[in-house]
Structure 1
Amino acid sequence: MATLRARLWAVLVTVCLLLTAQTLATPQRAVAADPGYLMTHFIGEGATGQQIYFSHSTDGLHWSDLNGGGMTLRSTVGTRGVRDPALVRSPNGDRYWIIATDLCIGCGQSWGDAIDNGSRNLVIWESRDLVTWSQPWLLNVAGAIPDGRNAWAPEAIWNPETNDYVLYWATNATLNGVRKHRIYYARTTDFRTVTTPRLYIDRPGTQGIIDTQIVEVPAGVGGHRYVRTSGQITIEGGDSILGTWTELGNLSGIGLTGSQVEGPMWMKFRDRDEWALYLDQYAAGRGYMPVLTTGPATPGAYRLPGSGTYDMGGTKKRHGSILNLTAAEESRLQARWPATAANRLQSYNYQDRYVRHADFDVRIDPNVSPAEDARFRLRPGLAGSGTVSFESVNFPGHFLRHVGFDFQLAYDDGTTAFAEDATFRRVAGLADSGWSSFQSYNHPDRYLRHYGFRLRLDPITTATGRADATFRVTS
């Protein structure tokens, strides 16, 4: 009996040791269960690249593209392109804003135009849940600056001393006989009205400055409450957002200057006392990389990442911002913008033609250009379970919708009428069961079909109608 007890005890000890070893070997499991990070950014030039994109990371170093790598918001105002987006969360977390540069290089505007006679506006979106966004609006911030010629790279931070936001950006203007980019600021509570702009950061002589971002650090970290990076990737510290700032140094010690990188973007790791300062490698055309530090106010503490320690995902990430997510925010984001593929709808009886939008009208065409006009994401139906809605890839938030039984690409206004008009039941193809047909949710006797190559919603009673109402969902 003693021998049996000894054997049982040995087995129990072995099992406990194995469980302990497994727990010690996999501490990342607890970390992985924590909410991750959202990056808001643009990806390149042209009308498509200069829009709003979202990426997600569980650890702050390895990123995946949300929405299948497609844009999440598209500017329909000003130049109809945006760069340098900043994502702002209200102090109590009940409201969000995206503020961005109104700029579209290669869309009828050159760099020379943008520098000397660009938009004086910023582009703003607002949301209450981080997934449903308003239509964009323009906010004129540089029009009140004497000789103000543009408004670039906006950022904003909540200022507890004044109980509002400090909105700051770069404007090319003439001051004391010198024309160059300087940082200006204004105060706002709603990003719809602002106070009179005032000069914020000016460099000596003809040296200009464009990109600046401020991060709040815990008391005792470097002896400053706030740290900002700007210009030639200098590091500055201050105890008040609108107070005195002290230059602490730069990153030339690790080989980084403003001639190589730009668009500084801070991120605090939630599971340790460490920060990542993401820098856009614009000179090499490589997008963001992280520089790591445990002391944001200590230039000598920054270090380059080791080989293979980070992955920026499928798209190039350029000048944006990072938000540490709550669990609820992360859940909503991943449900709204999963990594789903884009599809095309191929006509059954005109197989060289695909459903596409053109000036927000909807038809079937061959050789669609741009190709994105014929690409849609099949989302769970806006009005009911077991149904589908078709969201445009290059006009996110816009869906195929019938109005008076004619089809258009329209922005989701959140109404019940819109949801029902944009929702369909996918059924076996009326002309070929291997294909698909789409029955209207609110007019179940009618189906999506083409007629004279334009999309309509009609009752289907003939063989021609059945062929017109049959499509293949294809990539």
Structure 2
Amino acid sequence: MPAVLTRLATTLVAACLLLASYVVGTPQRAAAAEPGYLMTHFIGEGATGQQIYFSHSADGLHWSDLNGGGTALRSTVGTRGVRDPSLVRSPSGDRYWIIATDLCIGCGQSWGDAQTDGSRNLVVWESTDLVTWSQPRLLDVAGAIPDGRNAWAPEAIWNPETNDYVLYWATNATLNGVLKHRIYYARTTDFRTITTPRLYIDRPGTQGIIDTQVLAVPSGTGGYRYVRASGDGQITLEGSNSILGTWTNLGNLSGIGLTGSQVEGPMWMKFRDRAEWALYLDQYATGRGYLPVLTTGPASPDGYRLPAAGSYQMGGTKKRHGSILNLTAAEESRVQARWPATAVNRLQSYNYQDRYVRHVDFDVRVDPNVSPAEDAQFRLRAGLAGSGTVSFESVNFPGWFLRHAGSDLGLAHDDGTAAFAESATFRRVAGLADAQWSSFQSYDDPAQYLRHYAFRLRLDPITTATGRADATFRVTG
């Protein structure tokens, strides 16, 4: 072979070896090359912390708060607070539900009251696209349980054997003379009506159980079709080949130093790019939120391992008991467009500069020293009715917007109609009293502007210097 061909062949072989080593040594998916994950959770106590929050991760380990860390959905029913949300997708992917505990600790109810005389309802939201959600509704699940005193930590999983969902939750009730939390279940197809609740998990003696989540695993993974993790004094793992069949105790996570006195709220996640799972556990005893425990075999307690230092990041808010959904590309696009990390703004009055636009009992006015501060915080979203316009979405009542009914301004929930969109949309123009500030012209009645009168917000035609000052605002942080 001529020398030049020899050198060429040697070069080609080296290049192939280099390419082969690159392919073998490089992960098959970059961090954001495929759709990521959506976590539904609450963040703490109080009326604001006990609501629905969303977070996103590209790799399942590093999380960013959606909606600027603000509330995504707010309960206006029952106790007006929610904990332990579970996000459920239908098998066909055309419908979603969020089911949550109807509980608001520190909002007029203590832990003792919640255990012995709490809400027997769950709170349910429904959606067809993962971003436009129904108003919350109550679903009575524990009212038919003898001596049932509450309904906590709901979960649901599709059961292919019965073609419906197994909805399960914890209820504190007396059975065989023992009062404690047990897991009950019912079947449903729509989260509106359920079958008669039945006992699902009961630990021996006085040992209660509150948190449990069932994971469907691929056939041949550890010998079980389903694995569940439960908080029952330990983090107990069990396996079964039928959701409503017999479950086998597999062990617990005490071998890696995690017990039910330290962690709760088990939350499963399957990494989409490899045969590995994360079992997220809420470090409630130390107040540190979620910790991912990793495994390649969910049914093998000995195979779980703690994450390496610095290998995960949970974002700005504390993540509490929730659930994780592996997103499709379309779902991810919709979610990130609907709940971006948008800035939080206030509207400062031009002629009373210690006062800001705020809502109170769904009325809107300008006040000083607003408390809670979130009542005066809004997100300036792209106008609901037209391009180049804005709409004002409440931070602590997401989905609720400033809108006019006649000349009166109020805070109202978006009902999806064109009429609502038009009445909640404004054109931002140069301030009528000072061009460095802003004024807001009604979209559906351009002759009128947003202004305050006797400190209440309304729409008016502006014809005087006082009116121009009343209709001028600064958009500020």
Could you say whether these structures have the same fold, taking a TM-score greater than 0.5 normalized by the shorter chain as the test?
yes
Alignment of 1:215 with 2:200, yes or no, is: no
- Counterpart of 2:297, as a letter, is G
Separation (CA, whole Å) in 1 of partners of 2:213 and 2:189: 19
Q: Which residue does the alignment assign to 2:196?
A: 196
Query: How big is the shift at 1:366?
Result: 0.3
Deviations 1:214-272 (CA, angstroms, capped at 9, x unpaired): 00001111100000010221000000000000000000000000000000000000000
- Counterpart of 1:281, as a letter, is Q
Q: Which residue does the alignment assign to 2:206?
A: 206
Query: How big is the shift at 1:460?
Result: 1.0
SS of equivalent to 2:298: coil
Query: How big is the shift at 1:24?
Result: 7.4
Q: Which residue does the alignment assign to 2:442?
A: 440
Query: How big is the shift at 1:293?
Result: 0.2
State how many pairs are aligned: 474
Separation (CA, whole Å) in 1 of partners of 2:29 and 2:171: 46
Query: How big is the shift at 1:206?
Result: 0.4
Q: Structure 1 unaligned runs (5+)?
A: none
Report the TM-score, using the length of structure 2 for normalisation. Answer: 0.96
- Counterpart of 2:211, as a letter, is D
Deviations 1:378-411 (CA, angstroms, capped at 9, x unpaired): 0000001111100000000000000011100000
Asked if the contact 1:450–1:469 (Cα under 8 Å) also holds between the matched residues in 2, the reply is yes
Distance 1:252 1:467, change over 3 A: same
Separation (CA, whole Å) in 2 of partners of 1:27 and 1:212: 33
Residue pairs, 1:285-434, within 5 angstroms: 285-434=287-436
Q: Which residue does the alignment assign to 1:260?
A: 262
Separation (CA, whole Å) in 2 of partners of 1:442 and 1:157: 45
SS of equivalent to 1:200: strand
Q: Which residue does the alignment assign to 2:168?
A: 168
Asked if the contact 1:171–1:181 (Cα under 8 Å) also holds between the matched residues in 2, the reply is yes
Residue pairs, 1:225-304, within 5 angstroms: 225-230=225-230, 231=232, 232-304=234-306
Distance 1:299 1:439, change over 3 A: same
Q: Which residue does the alignment assign to 2:115?
A: 115
Deviating more after overlay: 196-205 vs 8-17? 8-17
- 4+ runs deviating over 2 angstroms: 2-31
Separation (CA, whole Å) in 1 of partners of 2:23 and 2:436: 50
Asked if the contact 1:62–1:311 (Cα under 8 Å) also holds between the matched residues in 2, the reply is yes
Q: Structure 2 unaligned runs (5+)?
A: none
Separation (CA, whole Å) in 1 of partners of 2:304 and 2:281: 12
- Counterpart of 2:57, as a letter, is S
Distance 1:233 1:399, change over 3 A: same
Separation (CA, whole Å) in 1 of partners of 2:424 and 2:7: 68
Asked if the contact 2:29–2:273 (Cα under 8 Å) also holds between the matched residues in 1, the reply is no
Separation (CA, whole Å) in 2 of partners of 1:293 and 1:23: 25
Deviations 1:123-179 (CA, angstroms, capped at 9, x unpaired): 000000000000001001000000000000000000011111000000000000000
Q: Which residue does the alignment assign to 1:154?
A: 154
Query: How big is the shift at 1:12?
Result: 9.6
- Counterpart of 2:118, as a letter, is G
Query: How big is the shift at 1:6?
Result: 11
SS of equivalent to 2:285: helix
Separation (CA, whole Å) in 1 of partners of 2:453 and 2:304: 63
Q: Which residue does the alignment assign to 2:224?
A: 224
Q: Which residue does the alignment assign to 1:449?
A: 451
Separation (CA, whole Å) in 1 of partners of 2:444 and 2:23: 54
Separation (CA, whole Å) in 2 of partners of 1:213 and 1:18: 45
SS of equivalent to 1:282: coil
SS of equivalent to 2:213: strand
Q: Which residue does the alignment assign to 2:78?
A: 78
Query: How big is the shift at 1:10?
Result: 10
Distance 1:235 1:15, change over 3 A: closer
Separation (CA, whole Å) in 2 of partners of 1:255 and 1:214: 22
Q: Which residue does the alignment assign to 1:131?
A: 131
Distance 1:8 1:159, change over 3 A: closer
Q: Which residue does the alignment assign to 1:97?
A: 97
Report the TM-score, using the length of structure 1 for normalisation. Answer: 0.96
Distance 1:13 1:453, change over 3 A: farther
Deviating more after overlay: 21-30 vs 280-289? 21-30
Distance 1:138 1:423, change over 3 A: same
- Counterpart of 2:213, as a letter, is Q
Query: How big is the shift at 1:416?
Result: 0.3
Separation (CA, whole Å) in 2 of partners of 1:48 and 1:180: 29
SS of equivalent to 1:182: strand
Deviating more after overlay: 155-164 vs 9-18? 9-18
Distance 1:7 1:386, change over 3 A: farther
Query: How big is the shift at 1:445?
Result: 1.1
Q: Which residue does the alignment assign to 2:68?
A: 68
Asked if the contact 1:377–1:392 (Cα under 8 Å) also holds between the matched residues in 2, the reply is yes
Distance 1:387 1:18, change over 3 A: farther
Separation (CA, whole Å) in 2 of partners of 1:432 and 1:18: 65
Q: Which residue does the alignment assign to 1:180?
A: 180
Q: Which residue does the alignment assign to 1:36?
A: 36
Separation (CA, whole Å) in 1 of partners of 2:18 and 2:476: 49
Asked if the contact 1:167–1:187 (Cα under 8 Å) also holds between the matched residues in 2, the reply is yes
SS of equivalent to 1:158: strand
Asked if the contact 2:255–2:302 (Cα under 8 Å) also holds between the matched residues in 1, the reply is yes
Query: How big is the shift at 1:461?
Result: 1.2
SS of equivalent to 2:78: coil
Asked if the contact 1:281–1:288 (Cα under 8 Å) also holds between the matched residues in 2, the reply is yes
SS of equivalent to 1:55: strand
Query: How big is the shift at 1:463?
Result: 1.1
Query: How big is the shift at 1:19?
Result: 8.3
Q: What fraction of aligned residue pairs are identical, expressed as a percent?
A: 84
Asked if the contact 1:31–1:271 (Cα under 8 Å) also holds between the matched residues in 2, the reply is no
- Counterpart of 1:403, as a letter, is A
